[in-house]
Amino acid sequence: TRIYVRGILELLQHFSIKGVSHITGGGFYENIPRMLPEGLSAEILRDSWPVLPVFSLIQKAGNITEHDMYNTFNMGIGMVLACESVQEHEIIACLRDTGYQAYQIGSIIEGQEGVVLR
């Protein structure tokens, strides 16, 4: 298990983080909506980060739907942060400087769907 406290504490000293979601059991569909106010959803772009080949093996061997893969597993994403888009590049750089891989994987949109994968 990756521990994210060092990176999060560093970010909180320099940036305004709007939401944090640890992607554990419940995956994207259950965890990300918990950090969002009512009326907002997360639009996640599937091809915006490298997904480890093990997830394809699991999906194929278990005959698991894509929805269930994103609902059960983290697909290589352990933590999701919501921030102002103007700070995105600086936040990613800060995380990388502290030893974490970071990617811009989506955006917050109006809507009641929770998480939308594109």
Q: What is the pLDDT of residues 47-89, one digit of tens each?
A: 999 999 999 999 999 999 999 999 999 999 999 999 999 999 9
Write down the pTM of the prediction: 0.89
pLDDT greater than 90 at residue 1: no
Model confidence at 2, pLDDT cuts 50, 70, 90, reads confident
Exposed/middle/buried for residue 106 (C-beta within 10 Å: 0-12, 13-18, 19+): buried
Pair of tokens at residue 100: 């974490």
Do 3 and 66 meet the contact criterion of CB atoms below 8 Å apart? no
Task: Return the pLDDT at 37.
Answer: 92
Q: What is the average pLDDT score of the chain?
A: 94
Task: Return the pLDDT at 26.
Answer: 84
Do 23 and 80 meet the contact criterion of CB atoms below 8 Å apart? yes
